Chains A and B, each alone.
Chain A
Amino acid sequence: MSKGIRDKVAIIGMGCTKFGEHWDKGAEDLLVESYVEAIADAGIEKKDIQAVWYGSCNDEYSFGKSAIALSQTLKLPFIPVTRVENMCATGSEAIRGAAYSIAAGVHDVCLAIGVEKLKDTGFGGLGEVAANSGLKGKLILPSYSGPGGFALLATKYFAKYGLSAEKGKEVLAMVSAKSHANGCLNPKAHLRKHITVEMVMKAPMIAWPLGLFDCCGVSDGSAAAIVCRADLAKNFRDDPVLIKAMQIAASSGEELMYQGSWDGSYVMTGAHCAKKTYEEAGIKNPREEIDMMEVHDCFSITELVTYEDLQISARGKAPDDVKDGFYNLDGKIPCQPDGGLKCFGHPIGASGLRMMYEMYKQLQGKADKRQLKDPKIGLTHNMGGVPYQNVVSINILGL
Chain B
Amino acid sequence: MVGIVSYGAYIPKFRIDRKIIYQAMGWFDGGTYQPGEKAVANFDEDSISMAVNSTYDCLTDIDSKDMDALFFATTTAPYKERLNSEIIATACDLRNDIRSADYSNSVKAGTTALLAAIDSVKAGSAKNVVVAAADCRVAKPGSSQEEFFGDSAASLVIGEDNIIANLVGSHSVSYDFPDCWKSSTDKYHRQWEDRFIRTEAYSKFILEAISGLVKKTGLDINSVSKVAFPCLYPGDFKKIGKMLGLGLEKLQDPMIANVGYTGASNSLMLLTAALEDAKPGDKIIVASFGSGSDALLFEVTEEIEKIKGNRRGIKKHLAAKKALTNYEKMLAFRDILPVEKGIRGETAGTFTSFSTVWRERNLVMALYGSKCQACGTPQIPAQRICVNPDCGAIDQMEPYKFAGRKATIFTYTGDNLAYTPSPPAIYCIADFEGGGRYWFDITDADLDAVEVGMEIEPTFRRKYKDDKLGMHIYFWKMQPIMQ
- A→B interface (CB under 8 Å): 121-125, 128-131, 135-136, 138-148, 151-156, 159, 204-208, 252-254, 256-260, 264, 388
B412 & A135 in contact (Cβ 8 Å cutoff): no
A264 & B415 in contact (Cβ 8 Å cutoff): no
Q: What are 23 residue pairs bridging A and B, where the CB atoms are less than 8 Å apart in the complex? A: A122-B343, A135-B356, A136-B356, A139-B356, A139-B475, A140-B475, A143-B419, A143-B427, A145-B415, A145-B425, A154-B413, A155-B452, A204-B416, A207-B416, A207-B417, A208-B447, A254-B388, A254-B389, A257-B383, A257-B436, A257-B437, A260-B389, A264-B410
Given A128-B347, A148-B425, A207-B416, 6 additional A-B pairs, CB 8 A: A123-B343, A143-B420, A143-B441, A148-B418, A159-B411, A205-B416
Q: Binary interface profile of B, 440-480, with partner A (CB < 8 Å = 1, else 0)?
A: 11000001000010000000000100000000010100000
CB distance from B380 to the nearest CB of A (A): 7
The answer to whether B387 has its CB under 8 Å from any CB of chain A is yes
The answer to whether B353 has its CB under 8 Å from any CB of chain A is yes
Task: Given A131-B347, A135-B353, A257-B437, answer yes or no on A143-B425 (Cβ-Cβ < 8 Å).
Answer: yes
A264 & B429 in contact (Cβ 8 Å cutoff): yes
What 4 A-B pairs come out closest when comparing CB atoms?
A122-B343, A148-B415, A151-B413, A142-B427
B377 & A258 in contact (Cβ 8 Å cutoff): yes
- When chains A and B are docked, how far (Å) is the Cα of A121 from the Cα of B463? 23
CB distance from A210 to the nearest CB of B (A): 8
- Tell me the nearest residue of chain A to B418, going by C-beta: A145
CB distance from B335 to the nearest CB of A (A): 17
Residues of A within 8 A of B420 (CB): 143
Task: Given A143-B418, A152-B429, answer yes or no on A207-B413 (Cβ-Cβ < 8 Å).
Answer: yes
Is the interface on chain B under 10, 10 to 19, 20 to 34, or 35 or more residues? 35 or more
- When chains A and B are docked, how far (Å) is the Cα of A131 from the Cα of B350? 8
A151 & B473 in contact (Cβ 8 Å cutoff): no
Residues of A within 8 A of B410 (CB): 156, 264
The answer to whether B342 has its CB under 8 Å from any CB of chain A is yes
Residues of B within 8 A of A208 (CB): 413-415, 424, 447
Residues of B within 8 A of A138 (CB): 352
Residues of A within 8 A of B364 (CB): 139-140
Residues of B within 8 A of A257 (CB): 379-380, 383, 387, 436-438
A-B contacts at CB below 8 angstroms, number: 147
- When chains A and B are docked, how far (Å) is the Cα of A154 from the Cα of B415? 13
Q: Binary interface profile of B, 388-431, with partner A (CB < 8 Å = 1, else 0)?
A: 11000000000000000000001111111111100011011101
B352 & A136 in contact (Cβ 8 Å cutoff): no
CB distance from B67 to the nearest CB of A (A): 25
B417 & A206 in contact (Cβ 8 Å cutoff): yes
The answer to whether B357 has its CB under 8 Å from any CB of chain A is yes
CB distance from A251 to the nearest CB of B (A): 11
Summarize B's interface: helix, strand, loop or mixed: mixed
CB distance from B207 to the nearest CB of A (A): 49
CB distance from A385 to the nearest CB of B (A): 13
The answer to whether B344 has its CB under 8 Å from any CB of chain A is yes
The answer to whether B360 has its CB under 8 Å from any CB of chain A is yes
A256 & B419 in contact (Cβ 8 Å cutoff): no
- When chains A and B are docked, how far (Å) is the Cα of A140 from the Cα of B389? 24
- When chains A and B are docked, how far (Å) is the Cα of A260 from the Cα of B418? 29
- Tell me the nearest residue of chain B to A261, going by C-beta: B389
- B→A interface (CB under 8 Å): 342-344, 347-350, 352-353, 356-357, 360, 363-364, 377, 379-381, 383, 387-389, 410-420, 424-425, 427-429, 431, 435-441, 447, 452, 463, 473, 475
A258 & B418 in contact (Cβ 8 Å cutoff): no
- When chains A and B are docked, how far (Å) is the Cα of A131 from the Cα of B419? 11
Residues of B within 8 A of A148 (CB): 413, 415, 417-418, 425, 427
- When chains A and B are docked, how far (Å) is the Cα of A38 from the Cα of B364? 49
Residues of B within 8 A of A128 (CB): 344, 347-348, 418-419
CB distance from A205 to the nearest CB of B (A): 6
Residues of A within 8 A of B440 (CB): 142
- When chains A and B are docked, how far (Å) is the Cα of A159 from the Cα of B437? 19
Task: Given A128-B344, A139-B463, A258-B379, answer yes or no on A159-B387 (Cβ-Cβ < 8 Å).
Answer: no
CB distance from A111 to the nearest CB of B (A): 34
Contact of A388 among B389, B414, B439 (CB under 8 A): B439
- Which of B349, B364, B413 has most chain A Cβ within 10 Å? B413
B431 & A259 in contact (Cβ 8 Å cutoff): yes
- Tell me the nearest residue of chain B to A210, going by C-beta: B413
CB distance from A327 to the nearest CB of B (A): 25
Task: Given A139-B356, A257-B438, answer yes or no on A125-B417 (Cβ-Cβ < 8 Å).
Answer: yes
CB distance from B232 to the nearest CB of A (A): 39
Residues of A within 8 A of B416 (CB): 204-207
- Tell me the nearest residue of chain B to A158, going by C-beta: B452
CB distance from B394 to the nearest CB of A (A): 14
Contact of A147 among B415, B435, B438, B463 (CB under 8 A): B415
Residues of B within 8 A of A121 (CB): 343-344
- Which of B357, B419, B437 has most chain A Cβ within 10 Å? B437
A256 & B439 in contact (Cβ 8 Å cutoff): yes
CB distance from B385 to the nearest CB of A (A): 9
Residues of B within 8 A of A145 (CB): 415, 417-418, 425
CB distance from A186 to the nearest CB of B (A): 26
Residues of A within 8 A of B348 (CB): 128, 130-131, 143
Contact of B413 among A136, A140, A152 (CB under 8 A): A152
- When chains A and B are docked, how far (Å) is the Cα of A252 from the Cα of B391? 13
Residues of B within 8 A of A139 (CB): 352, 356-357, 360, 364, 463, 473, 475
Task: Given A128-B344, A140-B363, A388-B429, answer yes or no on A147-B417 (Cβ-Cβ < 8 Å).
Answer: yes
CB distance from B446 to the nearest CB of A (A): 12
Residues of B within 8 A of A205 (CB): 416
CB distance from A147 to the nearest CB of B (A): 6
Residues of B within 8 A of A144 (CB): 415, 418, 425, 427, 439
Residues of B within 8 A of A146 (CB): 417
CB distance from B367 to the nearest CB of A (A): 10
A124 & B381 in contact (Cβ 8 Å cutoff): no
